Structure 1
Amino acid sequence: MAKDKIKVLIIDDSALVREVLTEILNADPNLEVIGTASDPIIARNKIKQLNPDVLTLDVEMPRMDGLTFLSNLMRLRPMPVVMVSSLTEKGADITLRALEMGAVDFVSKPKLDVAHGLKDYAEELCGKVKAASGAKLQNYSWDSGPTLETQERHTADAVLNKREVKNFKTTDRIIAIGASTGGTEAIKEVLMHMPADAPGIVITQHIPEAFSGPFAKRMDDNCAMTVYEATDGQQILPGHVYIAPGSHHMLVERSGARYICKLSDGPPVNRHRPAVDVMFRSVAQNVGPNAIGVILTGMGDDGAIGMKEMQEAGAPTIAQDEKTSVVWGMPGEAVKQGGVDVILALQEIPNKLIGLYK
């Protein structure tokens, strides 16, 4: 028996965007656009009539703004939502707020040549809508899913060759966290419960360049540690968090007795830049048993190989469990690869981290 298609309702005030999104989604054999709406008021009625599985929602809408609509939706009729977001500071802030309110994911809307730009993201958009249809709706959600260019799939070897682990003459600890779909809210949940004197934390979250800075600022406002969007050569210090920029891989390197952030514009790895596998490998090679690895909710398998390398280097490793993950792709694959020491609910991870480094 043929599998039922995922039913999608598109909500966007631009007729051109509605047309392009419809064309892209209907081209996927597993998706069907069952309706479109130019504003949330029309959308509200179409949801009742058509019963879609997933909504795509523009962040800025007439008659009722996207956030108000999303808030009402999640209160009265929770369902998976993928935000269609502008690559602007305002668009990033609205999108991050939408993810806090329960949106599963987002896709960026190009500022120029919208029709052509969205077609370039066809595979990404379809992948995120399909992932959203099976995602768990919780108080935390999100990512930037795969940067799905139709190109050769690189491993971490494209950025950093695998080699023997160095000897370690420092006891400084580093916590390395990787995440994707649902990750912004999962990361916030972990950071909010970490004390101000925790070891330095490095984070790779799949996220576009325009969003990593606002995301870092949002985290800085919500936790006791000091949070930065990482810069090249920045020293990694206790009490500080370093989030990979959306345009670069982030590696951890040694500089004398210090650890520093090293940024690379090497090719996408597992179709992502930044990639979790690149960061985890660098941590395995340069921090070894003085590190702790954490892999959180996310679509795909990025980070699974790198986490195994961290474990082999003597680092304790933790994966978020399936029940509290929006999508149990990345942590599930890390478990399958055998690189995970312990599987925990999201709310249990901060205390486990504190127990491991104290």
Structure 2
Amino acid sequence: MFATPAAPPASRLSPALLRQNAIIAVGASTGGTDAIKEFLDKLPANCPPVMIVQHMPEGFTLSFARRLDKLCAMHVKEAEDGEPLLRGTAYIAPGHSHMRLGKGTQGFVICLDQSPPVNRHRPAVDVLFESVANLAAPQTVAVILTGMGKDGAHGMLQLRQGGAITFAQDEASCVVYGMPREAVAQGGVMHVHPLAQLGDKVLDVLRLPHERAGA
């Protein structure tokens, strides 16, 4: 299912040069399992937390997360309700629940619920993106990957309007250019890049300004 991973980019960024309290939010559907793996391959072990919604049936997300955990520098796990959002961890929404960003007494937490499907999906990308937009848009980098339909487009627009930096996978590298196309059409996307470049582009905006300038 997955290609042999490249060497983990664990030293790509030092903790002192990462933007504090940043969050990465990712949505994907058709073709997304391979796209998420390639995206996470570029992220270092000390990366800010990554929240991921991949349209996938219940029962598959746990094995998907465990497989990624063996291949990526970051710790990858299936999300659990109420757990804190931690640097160095990527959270896969379980196939039975929506995943939202919540606020606990000591910081951000994962919130799961089984409310009705949105855009015919549970988990839905819009549910994640809209929750992040409500609590943490200015410190968020959002990425929408290959997928059919329009899930995530409205939430990505909310994120951009709230001050997030937003990316979409380009048409040529998508298995299905549906979700990214809708997000672009609705005005929520600031940058469009091939899948192979997205991880590096996200890392670049996470660097502090003096590091990007080469200081």
Asked if Structure 1 and Structure 2 have the same fold, meaning a TM-score greater than 0.5 normalized by the shorter chain, the answer is yes
Shift of 1:269: 0.3
2:156 paired with 1:307: yes
Structure 1 stretches of at least 4 aligned residues deviating more than 3 Å after TM superposition: none
- The equivalent position to 1:288 in structure 2, one of 137, 152, 166, is 137
Counterparts of 2:177 and 2:189, CA distance in 1 = 14
Matched, 1:351 2:186: no
* Residue 82 (structure 2) aligns with: 233
Provide structure 1 residue ranges, at least 5 long, that are not aligned to the other structure.
1-96, 102-169
Indicate the residue corresponding to 1:157 in structure 2.
none
Which structure carries more relative contact order (alpha carbon 8 Å, separation 6+)? 2
Q: CA deviation at 1:256?
A: 3.1
Question: Which of 173, 190, 203 is 2:22 aligned to?
Answer: 173
What residue in structure 1 maps to residue 116 of structure 2?
Answer: 267
Verify: 1:323 aligned to 2:169, yes or no: no
Residues 305-347 of structure 1: CA deviation (Å, up to 9, x unaligned):
0000000110000000000000000000000001000000001
Which residue identity is paired with 1:310? Answer: L
Q: Which AA in structure 1 matches 2:116?
A: P
Structure 1 residue 254: Cα displacement:
1.3
The residue type paired with residue 179 of structure 2 is: M
Distance 1:218 1:257 in 2: 30
SS in structure 2 opposite 1:355? helix
2:63 matched residue in structure 1: 214
Match of 2:158, as an amino acid? E
One-letter amino acid matched to 1:193: K
Distance 1:194 1:219 in 2: 12
Deviations 1:111-133 (A, max 9, x none): xxxxxxxxxxxxxxxxxxxxxxx
Alpha-carbon distance in 2 for matches of 1:228, 1:315: 24
Distance 1:251 1:329 in 2: 23
1:346 alignment partner AA? L
Q: Give the Cα–Cα distance (whole angstroms) in 1 for the partners of residues 127 and 184 of structure 2.
A: 18
Q: CA deviation at 1:255?
A: 1.2
Structure 2 distance, partners of 1:354, 1:305, is: 24
1:257 is displaced (CA, Å) by 4.2
**Letter aligned with residue 46 of structure 2:** D
* Number of the residue aligned with 1:252: 101
1:293 Cα deviation from its structure 2 partner: 0.5
Give how far 1:288 is off: 1.4
Which residue of 2 is the match for residue 193 of structure 1?
42
Q: Distance between the aligned counterparts of 2:131 and 2:206, measured in 1?
A: 20
- Measure the CA separation in 2 of the matches of 1:171 and 1:286: 15
Aligned-partner residue type, residue 250 of structure 1: M
Specify the structure having the higher radius of gyration (Cα).
Answer: 1
Q: Secondary structure at the match of 2:173?
A: coil
Correspondence for 1:184: 33
Residue 333 of structure 1 pairs with residue 182 of structure 2: yes
Alignment map for 1:155-174 (pairs within 5 Å): 171-174=20-23
- Measured in 1, the distance between the counterparts of 2:106 and 2:150 equals 33
Matched positions, count: 192
What corresponds to 1:151 in structure 2?
Answer: none
Q: In 2, distance between residues paired with 1:191 and 1:288? A: 21
* 1:14-37 deviation per Cα after TM superposition (whole angstroms, max 9, x unaligned): xxxxxxxxxxxxxxxxxxxxxxxx
Following superposition, the deviation at residue 193 of structure 1 comes to 1.2
Provide the aligned C-alpha RMSD in A: 1.2
Amino acid at match of 2:70: D
Other structure's SS at 1:210 match: coil
Q: 1:226 to 1:251 in 2, by over 3 A?
A: same
Q: Report the Cα distance in structure 2 between the residues aligned to 1:247 and 1:174, rounded to whole angstroms.
A: 23
3-state SS of paired residue (2:172) = coil
CA distance in 2, matches of 1:221, 1:311: 33
